[in-house]
Amino acid sequence: MKEQQHSKKRSSKSKSNKSPKKSKLLNYKKYIGKDANHESEHIDQTNNNFDNVINPHTSEINEDPSNLEQEESLSEYNNDFLIDSNHDLQDLTENDYDPIPENDSELERPDLDLIGVPEWLKSPKIVDSNLSCSISDSRLALSEQTLLNCKKENISAFFAVQVAAFSLLKSIFISLKYSERARDICVSAPTGSGKTLAYAIPIIEKLLSRVVRRLRAIIVLPTKDLASQVKSVFDKFCRGTHLRVGLASGEVSFVKEQQTLVNSTVENSIEESSKVDILVCTPGRLINHITQTPNFYLDSLEILVMDEADRLMSQGYNDWLNILYKALSAGQNTLKRVLSGMFFLQEATCTIPPPTELSVPFRSVLFKIDIVSRGIDIENVDTVINYDVPISMNQYIHRVGRTARAGKAGSAYSLVGSHEARHFRKMQHTANHLKKLKNLKFNPEVVQEYEELYQTCLDELKELYVSKSKD
């Protein structure tokens, strides 16, 4: 059914009254707003980035990173496998697929124009995924403490998206210091490519020179798990500095959270009211603190990061953007302008249904409910098994993206039943990924041997899942 709708959409491309393509807006994953005179950038790293259907691959990069050293490269999903006992991938002919335009980006532009996507979002600076530079490169001019923290985390070189973001953010922060133009950045890069540090390190470097503690940076994430993960990244990279990082995600009671975030002894004063410089939060808790926590001020907020921005946009979260917008003071015009821009993205994406399926492990590897699988960074996962076929390429990417992270190798296996084979192939073909799959066949007699063990695993998993859901 989904595929039929998709075909209809494609064939009606030329009509001028077509509705916006929601999937295209899913590119805009990490969004950084900066409060000053407003300008914007969109970085896009497109090496095998299945999310990215707007832009063709190029090797252009932003600003001046072309002369940075090329030391390390990002590898992608090194091996994706399709396990299919009934079909051969080569069985399908070209006629079985929707025609795929030679240059998708050209066809998307009218859609984007129609819904009013600004020029800077439509024309990203494409970053070569081989771009890399040493942490001690003098052009980055990182503080001694950040260098030390990188070394403690075994980071010796920065990945492409990091080099690109550092260079842009640095110039933005310097401009801001001299009250010149600041900009907004929208980053789209493959899973596991290091987007968190791409914004965390510049924010820390920027705030190191602050004198008084005030809430200056907020990072919003769609789930509690992601917020904890990002908080721990900030904690590691704030080690040895005077910066304090807070978490507001519902992990502890609201009252406890309030105690960690604000000084209740200071009465209605912005001065010394905040106990943190940086706040990592979910939209729900952010709203709660804005509306219910005395001394929780946003007046000094300079930096706003929306991590997994498409999810934050597609799910309403009690109108959090609107509440945040209203909480900003009149002087924070740029942030307000950024947020109004986001309202339109929210409108355009709010009809995407949240994925709810359960992906079950085959034998021992990894299982996750899709809604939390996305963005979660689990160390050293070398294999992902799709026990069921993901409903969309987006879901497929976020599942298999739990492996082959940070330049490491990894494999993804998909178990495809005969009734799912057509949908799966079409999905892979449309994303131009079909050629990269290997078709593995297995002998049913060999599989039979494992049936009992498999059933036991499934039962255990079921028990575990039920007991976890009760907690």
Ligand X SMILES: Nc1ncnc2c1ncn2[C@@H]1O[C@H](COP(=O)(O)OP(=O)(O)OP(=O)(O)O)[C@@H](O)[C@H]1O
Residues of the shown chain interacting with ligand X in the complex, contacts defined by CB under 6 A: 155, 158-159, 162, 189, 191-197, 375, 377, 401, 405-406
| Residue 145 vs 295, nearer CB to ligand X | 145
Read off φ and ψ for residue 154, nearest 5 degrees. Answer: 60, 35
Both tokens of residue 211? Answer: 């004198």
| Residue 72 vs 104, nearer CB to ligand X | 72
Report whether 224 contacts 249 (CB < 8 A): yes
Residue 127 to residue 124: CA distance in whole angstroms: 9
Tokens 């965390």 belong to 200
Both tokens of residue 125? Answer: 């600076």
Report whether 95 contacts 422 (CB < 8 A): no
| Residue 332 vs 373, nearer CB to ligand X | 373
Give the 3-state secondary structure of residue 262.
strand
**Smallest distance, ligand X to C-beta of residue 407, A:** 7
**Smallest distance, ligand X to C-beta of residue 156, A:** 7
**Smallest distance, ligand X to C-beta of residue 135, A:** 8
| Residue 194 vs 222, nearer CB to ligand X | 194
**Smallest distance, ligand X to C-beta of residue 385, A:** 18
Burial, 257: exposed, middle or buried (Cβ in 10 Å; 0-12, 13-18, 19+)? buried
| Residue 42 vs 195, nearer CB to ligand X | 195
**Smallest distance, ligand X to C-beta of residue 326, A:** 29
Tokens 């959409």 belong to 9
Both tokens of residue 245? Answer: 């990082």
Both tokens of residue 335? Answer: 């942030």
Determine if residue 432 is left, alpha or beta; phi over 0 gives left, psi from -120 to 50 gives alpha, anything else beta: left
Determine the residue with CB nearest ligand X. 406
Read off φ and ψ for residue 261, nearest 5 degrees. Answer: -100, -40
Give the 3-state secondary structure of residue 226.
helix
**Smallest distance, ligand X to C-beta of residue 422, A:** 29
Report whether 303 contacts 33 (CB < 8 A): yes
Pick the closest to residue 121 from 28, 183, 56, 203 (CA basis).
28
| Residue 133 vs 298, nearer CB to ligand X | 133
Residue 400 to residue 79: CA distance in whole angstroms: 10
**Smallest distance, ligand X to C-beta of residue 252, A:** 24
**Smallest distance, ligand X to C-beta of residue 120, A:** 21
| Residue 145 vs 191, nearer CB to ligand X | 191
**Smallest distance, ligand X to C-beta of residue 200, A:** 8
| Residue 196 vs 315, nearer CB to ligand X | 196
| Residue 193 vs 274, nearer CB to ligand X | 193
Both tokens of residue 79? Answer: 């091996």
Pick the closest to residue 412 from 362, 358, 351, 371 (CA basis).
362
